[in-house]
Amino acid sequence: MSSLELRGITVRYGRFTAVDNVDLLVPEGTVTGLVGGSGSGKSTLGKAVVGLAPKQSGQVLIDGSEAPRLRGRSPVQLVFQNPYASLDPRMTVGASVAEALSGGSGSVNGNGSGSGTGSGARSGRRAPARERRPARDAEVARYLELVGMDPARAALTPDALSGGQRQRVALARALAARPAVLIADEITSALDVSVQGAVLNLLRRLQRELGFAMLFISHNLAVVRYLCDQVAVLDGGHLVECGPTDRVLDHPEHPTTRNLISCVPDLALAEEAS
Amino acid sequence: MPHHDHDSSLRHRLGRTIRTPIGVTALTACLLVALVAVLGPVLLGDRAAQVDTDAINQGSSAAHLLGTDQLGRDIAARVVVATRLTLRLTLMAAVIGVGGGLLLGVAPAVVGRRLGRLITATVGVLVAFPGLLFLLFLATIFGVGSTGAVFAVGLAMVPPMARLVQNLTASIAGSDYVAAARILGVGRFRMVVRHLLPNIAEPSVLFATQATGGILVAFSGLSFLGLGVQPPQYDWGRLLNEQLNRIFVNPAAALAPGAAVVLTGLMFGLVGEVLAQAGGRRAPQAPETTPQEELGTPPEPAVEHDGGALVRARDLRVTFPGGRQAVRGISLDIGAGEAVGLVGESGSGKSLSALALADLVPHPGRVSAAALGFDGHDLRADPRLGTELAMVFQDPMASLNPALRVGRQLAEVAEVHLGASRAEATARAVDRLDAVRIATPGRRARQRPHEYSGGMRQRAVIAMGLMGKPKLIIADEPTTALDVAVQREVLDLLAEVREESGAALLLISHDLAVVAQVCERVLVMYAGLVVENLPVTELLGGAAHPYTRALVGAVPTMTTDRGTELATIPGRPPEPGETGAGCPFAARCERVRERCHEDTPELTALGPGRQVACWYPVGTAAGRPVAATAHTAKATS
């Protein structure tokens, strides 16, 4: 149960400003949708929060304080857009999820290795692998079940799974890290509409059960409307509008928002046209 | 093979690869060389060392197969005995080279940015150094002798290996799964061992083994020059040195160590090839049952002309090796100027069906059809791509050549297909860019694709299609890579182009809403079959096939009830080859009855302009008893 607060986040690539001084609060236990056209900086903002994009300035606050990375681990986890690229093709599904478990599975953990700085401090010796294994496997199975996957599939590599199943694994991996906040970056845009529904239902159920705050990045307004309590609109790296979902989508104030809404393709259009 | 198993374990693939001719050769050669290296010195050691002053510098004879050297020692025995030392030194040098290369190659990905740059730059400088010069330089530093030579040859291999590993690692380090691991706080060591190394394994192994062959040659060269192994020790290079001046007297004695070097070097190359094949995705497929030769199916006497149909396909099939059919006999009619949408889940065969029309099915796939007519021509004999048939693909960056100016690429179409002169073609290209609403087309034509935005690239691709006089535009997910605002522009453009040129449109999309905006008629594909053909106006409320209804129900819209779960379709579509008797959708259908599991429903007419492949279509007498009030599918999963 944590809130996520972004204060004055700016991301620059050379002279190009991808995200410009964005302030955003995701209250605890709620979902904020982050929308915008391509190049609006919404994915970059998500990456900056987890430390994958270089922040020029600004703070990421968890529950009002700057959260340290625990043994290099970000308190915010990110689920990537493309489930075909976000799972190591050479690791079994179980190993991928196990890597996220809080105990890790015994290895060297570099402090702040995510930002490419800091020293690789050796963590203390743990129990031998043979003893930890059953407990670890049970945890992996639990998380796979949580996302609606047969734990027996833990032994498979991602190439044996469909896109929807891979995205479930990616979600299980993110949740296994017990994040304070979850960022979902276009997690259904690479999936079929029939699978998208199942993944979104799952995400909504888990979010309500576990109560984590979530930043849901998407270009699909219908999906954002279904899932989010609050909507933030980005344009050219600026936050142009932010408010409760109903208010923003029914009574948009900024032209960018209005334009986005007017461009949503609608099945019903064909009906009207006839 | 009806069931395509996913058995991709390394051991399994290695086993399969070793059974190929190249695998057998490599394995035999390895065993042979290993045997010689182990047993040679044991069996022939004394003979090779035995000095016989009575038989100095003899030619080949029964007693001495390759003759004797200046001390009367048997050369054949010496070549065999030298195997062990040669291999040992080669492998030691290889360990130094590969180890150092991996270390320096992987390091930039896991150390700090500044140190990483320094390492990359150093390796870059060392690679630029001529290899032989570097080797001789090191050999001089380390001094004459085998230890020095091992270090010299090994270290000389480090820069090229490091460079290769750096490049491979850089691409892996940029991948999403490494990013995910970084967020999870995975340590450096674990990152290297679990994520980086396994994913660069095949090319690295291939390079390392081939470089080991190179090391063998380089080491032999050093010994030959007298910088390597020193007497009384000897390796193949040393033997070559001793015998070369007698090559005209006793050629066999000089050629034998040389041949040993070459053959063993080849062996290393073969081993690398086998390992890379086994580890990589190039692993040979399990033996395949050759599909029944249909020999393109006998052409029908004449493609009948039925009024207005621009495209007429009958029993169109796309078959992949192993007899797996991705498209299982569909029939398709597109009228002149008509806009038809083709929808379905991924793997339903929708893209392949469209590619089959354009004769663009990727390599192992084979197209067959009872009839495949386009504007009165038989497409199987005479593909019409370029002039009358235009294609627009999903990724506009991938369908434009990044090295060519956009105008040039467009002009090429006119030059190749219409025989236009260069000036005419360029003028037309500018004109066409203007037609797709690209501002300042003259200037834009001189730019390269990377200077265009995503939406503009897609416009340029459409403009390319308009260089001829297209009668049909096939657009395969043309807006999937674009955001909603740009999507709207591209869809509007397609509609406009269609109006102006009178071309028909085949729009493939997984997004029903996109199809609903542009098309007049929708074909719904499932598991390689068309299951419903309906006017777009019926899509939202009047679909007869349970699959179409489920698909429509699964699209969240701006009016979806937020209090309930989104509708889903339980289960997954069958893979090509998994389909047996019965309706392919039966396993997921909520209206399924006994007959659905037994007989496959054919696509049959259902009112004017409508067809459905279902035994119990929604909203008909046949479909009524079960669920007359059935609404959109709502799964409770």
Q: CATH number for the domain including B209?
A: 1.10.3720.10
Of B326, B366, B369, nearest to B527 by C-alpha is B326
A98-108 average pLDDT score: 62
3-state secondary structure of B532: strand
pLDDT at B371 over 60: yes
Q: Both ends of chain B: CA-CA distance in Å?
A: 33
Nearest CA in chain B to A190: B480
Are residue B258 and residue B357 in the same domain, yes or no? no
The residue type found at A215 is L
Nearest to A217 by CA among A53, A36, A93: A36
Which pair of structure tokens corresponds to residue B364? 């192992």
- What is each CA distance from B94 to B34, B143, B161, B198, B417, in whole angstroms? 17, 19, 11, 20, 55
Beta carbons of B272 and B210 less than 8 angstroms apart: yes
| B69 Cβ contact partners less than 8 Å away, ≥ 6 residues apart | B56, B57, B75, B78, B242, B243, B253
The answer to whether residues B249 and B394 belong to one domain is no
For residue A229, what pLDDT is reported? Answer: 94
In a domain, residue A110? The reply is: no
User: What is the complex's ipTM, to 2 decimals?
Assistant: 0.83
Q: Which domain holds residue A46?
A: 4-102+129-261
Helix (H, G, I), strand (E, B) or coil at B625: coil
pLDDT, position B415: 87
Amino acid identity for residue A4 in this structure: L
DSSP structure class, residue B450: G
Q: Are residues B353 and B476 in the same domain?
A: yes
C-alpha B182 chain-centroid distance: 27
CA distance B40 to B77: 8
Q: Residue B108: its chain A contacts at CB < 8 A?
A: none
Question: Does A77 touch chain B if contact means CB atoms closer than 8 Å?
Answer: yes
Give contacts of A163 with chain B, Cβ < 8 Å. Answer: 346
Residue B193 per-residue DSSP state: I
Residue B126 structure tokens? 């060392």
Give the closest residue to B166 by CA, choosing from B111, B210, B129: B111
A193 contacts: CB under 8 Å, gap ≥ 6? B345, B510, B511, B512, B551, B554, B555
Identity of residue B119: I
List CB contacts of B89: < 8 A, sequence separation 6 or more. Answer: B146, B149, B150, B219, B228, B229, B235
Alpha carbons B543 and B610: distance in angstroms, whole number: 10
Which of the four pLDDT bands, split at 50, 70 and 90, describes residue A125?
Answer: very low
Residue B31 resides in a domain: no
- The answer to whether the CB of A249 falls within 8 A of the CB of B516 is no
pLDDT of res. A215: 95
Region of A211 please: left (phi>0), alpha (psi -120 to 50) or beta.
left
- The residue to which tokens 């994040």 are assigned: A179
By DSSP bridging, strand B366-368 and strand B472-476 are unpaired
CA quadruple B480, B486, B488, B491: dihedral positive or negative? negative
pTM: 0.78
Q: Is B454 a domain residue?
A: yes
B385: DSSP letter: B
Distance of CA B551 to the CA centre of its chain: 31
Question: Which of A174-178, B116-120, B303-307, B383-387 shows the lowest mean pLDDT across its residues?
Answer: B303-307
Q: Does residue A39 sit within a domain?
A: yes
Give chain B's domain count: 3
Q: Give the strands of the sheet with B611-612, arranged side by side.
A: B389-392, B472-476, B504-509, B339-343, B521-526, B529-535, B611-612, B604-605
Query: Helix B146-173 crosses helix B113-128 at what angle (to 10 degrees)?
Result: 130
**Which of B223, B249, B270 is the last residue in one of the domains?**
B270
Give me Rg for the CA atoms of chain A.
19
Which residues in B lie closer than 8 A to residue A194 (C-beta atoms)? 345, 550-551, 554, 568-569
Query: pLDDT tens-digit profile of B522-567?
Result: 999 998 999 999 999 888 888 899 999 988 888 888 888 888 888 8
> So what's the pLDDT on residue B280?
61
- What is residue B386's predicted lDDT score, i.e. its pLDDT? 61
Establish if B39 belongs to a structural domain.
Answer: no
Q: How is residue B1 written in tokens? A: 């093979």
Q: Is the pLDDT of residue B635 over 60?
A: no
Q: Are the C-beta atoms of A117 and A79 separated by less than 8 Å?
A: no
Q: Are B518 and B507 contacting, i.e. CB atoms less than 8 angstroms apart?
A: yes
**Helix (H), strand (E) at residue B257:** helix B251-279
Q: Which of residues 479-498 of B touch A (CB under 8 A)?
A: 482-488, 491
Tell me if B235 sits within 8 A of B229, measured CB to CB: yes
Give me chain A's average pLDDT, please.
83
Burial class (CB in 10 A: 0-12, 13-18, 19+), B94: buried
> Is the pLDDT at A176 greater than 60, yes or no?
yes
Cβ–Cβ contact A82 with B under 8 A: yes
Domain-terminating residue out of B213, B246, B270: B270
Assigned domain for A119 exists: no
Phi/psi for B247 (5° steps) reads: -60, -30
Contact assignment for B540 to A200 by CB distance below 8 Å: no
The pLDDT of residue A149 is above 70: yes
Final residue belonging to a domain, choices B245, B270, B295: B270
DSSP, res B184: T
Q: Are residues B509 and B553 in the same domain?
A: no
Q: Which stretches of B308-416 are assigned E, i.e. beta strand?
A: 309-320, 324-335, 339-343, 366-368, 371-374, 377-378, 389-392
Query: Quick one: pLDDT band at residue A115, thresholds 50, 70, 90?
Result: very low
Mean pLDDT of chain B: 83
CB contact under 8 A, A69 and B486: no
B482: distance to nearest CA of chain A, Å? 7
Which of these, A141, A128, A132, A135, lies nearest to A93 by C-alpha position?
A141
Sequential DSSP letters for B566-596: PP---S-PPPTT---SS-TTGGG-TT--HHH
Mutate to test the interface with B, among A74, A123, A193, A196 (most CBs of B within 10 A): A193
Residue B602 carries which DSSP code?
Answer: P
Residues 6+ apart with CB under 8 A from B23: B17, B274, B277
> How many C-alpha atoms does B533 have within 13 Å on its Cβ side?
20
Asked if residue B272 lies in contact with residue B214, where contact means CB atoms within 8 angstroms, the answer is no
Nearest by CB: B565 against A69, A90, A201: A201
CATH number of A149's domain:
3.40.50.300
Domain range spanning residue B568? 543-612
Residues B576 and B487 in one domain: no
pLDDT the model gives residue A70: 67
| Encoded amino acid at B82, one letter | A
Question: For residue B531, is it within any domain?
Answer: no
Rounded CA separation A235/A22 (Å): 11
Least confident of A104-118, B27-41, B139-153: A104-118
B77 found inside a domain? no
- Quote the CA–CA distance of B275 and B330 in Å, as a whole number: 42
Using DSSP's 3-state secondary structure scheme, residue A5 falls into: strand
Chain B residues in contact with A269 (beta carbon < 8 A)? 513, 516-517
Residue A239: the pLDDT is: 94
Q: Are residues B334 and B396 in the same domain?
A: yes
> In chain B, what percentage of residues exceed pLDDT 70?
91
Of B227 and B505, more confident: B505
Question: Which pair of structure tokens corresponds to residue B308?
Answer: 């207005």
* Alpha carbon distance B620, B611 (integer Å): 13
Q: Is there a single domain that holds both residue B149 and residue B251?
A: yes
Cβ within 8 Å, pair A194-B179: no
Q: Are B294 and B368 in contact (CB under 8 A)?
A: yes
CB contact under 8 A, A270 and B537: yes
Residue B135, φ and ψ in degrees, nearest 5: -65, -45
Using CB atoms, which residue from B112, B567, B568 is nearest to A117?
Answer: B112
Q: What share of chain B is helix, strand, coil (3-state, %, to 5)?
A: 50, 10, 40
Alpha-carbon gap: A263 to the closest alpha carbon of chain B (Å): 5
Per-residue CA distances from B341 to A164, B5, B179 (Å): 24, 33, 38
Q: Which tokens is B616 given?
A: 């119990």
Q: Find the farthest-apart pair of alpha carbons in chain A and give their distance in angstroms, rounded.
A: 71
Measured between beta carbons, which residues in chain A are less than 8 angstroms from residue B185?
Answer: 69-74, 109, 113-114
* Phi and psi torsions of B592, nearest 5°: -65, 140
- Residue A103, pLDDT > 60, answer no
Do B499 and B563 have their domain in common? no
b (16+ CB within 10 A) / e for B334-369: bbebbbbbbbbbbbbbbbbbbbbbbebbeeebbbbb
Write the CA distances from B164 to A232, B130, B203, integer angstroms: 44, 17, 9
The pLDDT confidence band at residue B390, using thresholds 50, 70 and 90, is confident
CATH number, domain at B502? 3.40.50.300
**Structural domain contains residue A172:** yes
* Residue A271 covered by a domain: no
> What's the total number of domains in chain A?
1
- Which residues does A137 contact at the CB level (< 8 Å), separation at least 6? A94, A98, A154
Residue B301 lies in a domain: no
In-domain check, residue B179: yes
Q: Which of A7-21, B78-92, B127-141, B331-345 has the least mean pLDDT?
A: B127-141
- Predicted pLDDT of residue A169: 92
* Cβ distance of A219 and B540 shorter than 8 Å: no
Instruction: Give the span between the Cα atoms of B351 and B345, in whole angstroms.
Output: 10
Would residue A12 count as lying in a domain? yes
State whether B255 and B396 are in the same domain.
Answer: no
Please check whether residue B407 lies inside any domain of the structure.
yes
Residue A6 identity (one-letter amino acid): L
Beta A230-235 vs B371-374: how paired, if at all? unpaired
Q: Check CB contact of B301 with chain A, cutoff 8 Å.
A: no
> Distance (Å, rounded) from C-alpha A144 to C-alpha A149?
5
From residue B554, how far is each of A87, B339, B529, B550, B633 by CA, in Å?
26, 24, 20, 6, 8
> pLDDT (tens digit, 9 = 90+) per residue, B260-291?
999 999 999 888 888 877 766 544 444 444 44
3-state helix, strand, coil in chain A (%, to 5): 40, 25, 40
Domain membership flag for residue A161 = yes
